[in-house]
Amino acid sequence: MATIEDLLACIDDPDDDSTRAYELTASRDRSLTPRLVDELGSFIAAEHFYGRDVIADAIAEIEGVEALPVLIRASAVDIGDDQDSLGSTIMEAIWADIGRAAELVDELASDNDPRVRDKAQWARSMVDLQASRKA
């Protein structure tokens, strides 16, 4: 079983295929989330988008739709990349439970940070799009 330290050690390894992320999240151990959220903040502060994306994926795998607030807040910080991977992670979290995603995104729509509100608005449009496809 991989540890968070194993995962962090492999992030800068160009030959790694993120199997440690899968190993780490396989147990869905929610006690890992606070540490992962801290590491996510560190990668964002360092403007390390690959690290941000790997850690965001791990959080989403463990937390499912409940990861949306963390993921949307991470997305609200522009570190100069296209955020394609992070956007995909957010979409997968939305698809996990559209009804709950709508609730979480609506809560973020009144956040104090206008960047978070903007990302919440985008996420809400994705919720609505997915809901219309299911109808």
| CA nearest to 62, candidates 101, 21, 98 | 21
pLDDT digits (tens, 9 = 90+) for 68-117: 999 999 999 999 999 999 999 999 999 999 999 999 999 999 999 999 99
Segment 1-28 shows an average pLDDT of 73
**Residues constituting the chain:** 135
How far is CA 72 from its chain centroid? Answer: 7
Burial of 15 (0-12, 13-18, 19+ CB in 10 A): exposed
